[in-house]
Amino acid sequence: MNIVKARKYFYFLSLLIIIIGLLSFGVKGLNYGIDFTGGTLIEMEFERAVNIADVRSVLADTGISQDSRVQEGDGNVVLIRTKDLTQEKSEELLKSMEEKIGSYTLLRNQSVGPTIGKELRNNALLSVIIAFVLMIIYITIRFEFLSGLAAVAALIHDILVTVGLVSLLGLEVDAAFIAALLTIVGYSINNTIIIFDRVRENIGKKRKGDSLDGIIHRSIMQTLARSINISLTVVFVLAALILIGGYTIRSFILILLIGVVAGCYSSVLLASPLYYDFRRLRGDSI
């Protein structure tokens, strides 16, 4: 199968996944953590099994049950997300937990004000935009402007797929989410550049009767084993971390896993076909 000639099927699949993700984003939105919304996150590990209803009862008795969310973690870990608490209120809650539920180990007790949350959102968006601009400049210098456009279009695909699936799965969006997105962007662009480098090399050594789609398909196939092997290696590591890495990093690792799979897909099946279409629009034959 010629990947470039079959590109419309890959475009359709990507569009379908993106639309589902955008619908979820429009209906559910994102599960913003306190890094963005402001508030207090308390994570504690009790010495015995805990009934979540008992935790909610303690929150109600303390007067902070409104707008609070309680989530179970691995073992006897409990996460409480609530409005921004004063030091006194936080200590009162922790004391009530120990008296009414039992002994625990405090894993996290952090607060972020809503102003800082808004600043983090703005900085996160700015960092992604700067990364895209710098990548377009770099790829334009190394290859050509159309290569940069195709690469960034593939990266936008990766981000839309990742954000959509994060919304669909209800994964928490915090500062680590931004780190995951930038990691995904760096991983994906590396794969794409390897393929573009082979495309440029093969165009320079074109044979009689070669077509542009044939050269691009041959370049993809020549780098396919490398792309799949590297991606599988990363996926195996991430899968191991999901299983044994602990609850606190699971959301971050899942986001990375989604992005790595999307990045491999876009690098192989989207970036080069998009480059082909951009060159056709410019009127190039090869």
Q: What is the pLDDT of residue 56?
A: 86
Assess whether pLDDT exceeds 70 at residue 10. yes
Token reading at 44: 């504690």
Identify which has the larger pLDDT, 268 or 69.
Answer: 268
Per-residue confidence at 114, pLDDT binned at 50, 70, 90?
A: low
The β-bridge relationship of strands 69-72 and 39-46 is unpaired
Q: What is the pLDDT of residue 278?
A: 92
Task: Please state the domain extents for the chain.
Answer: 7-32+116-282, 39-111
Minimal CA–CA distance to 274: which of 148, 159, 129, 187?
148
CA distance 30 to 24: 9
Question: What would the mean pLDDT of 221-236 be, rounded to a whole number?
Answer: 92
Assess whether pLDDT exceeds 70 at residue 27. yes
Minimal CA–CA distance to 93: which of 55, 71, 62?
62
pLDDT 10s digits, 238-248: 999 988 876 66
Residue 248 DSSP code: G
Distances (CA, A) of 6 to 37, 63, 133, 180, 210: 44, 60, 30, 31, 18
41 three-class SS: strand
CA distance 41 to 255: 20
The residue to which tokens 């897909």 are assigned = 265
According to CATH, what is the number of the domain 7-32+116-282?
1.20.1640.10
CA distance 201 to 63: 67
Query: What does the radius of gyration of the chain's CA atoms come to, in whole angstroms?
Result: 24
Model confidence, pTM: 0.78
Among 86-90, 131-135, 191-195, name the most confident range. Answer: 191-195
Residue 270 DSSP code: I
User: Could you tell me how many residues make up the chain?
Assistant: 286
Percent of the chain with pLDDT over 70: 95
The β-bridge relationship of strands 31-32 and 172-173 is parallel
Token reading at 134: 């710098």
The answer to whether 273 and 220 are in contact (CB under 8 A) is no
CA distance 239 to 256: 10
pLDDT 10s digits, 68-83: 778 777 778 888 888 7
* Helices H / strands E in the chain, number of each: 10, 6
Domain made up of 39-111: CATH architecture? 2-Layer Sandwich (3.30)
Q: What is the DSSP string of 179-242?
A: HHHHHHHHHHHHHHHHHHHHHHHHHHTPPTT--HHHHHHHHHHHHHHHHHHHHHHHHHHHHHHH
Within 13 A of 230's CA, how many CA atoms are on the CB side? 17
Minimal CA–CA distance to 155: which of 122, 125, 181?
181
The residue to which tokens 């410019």 are assigned = 282
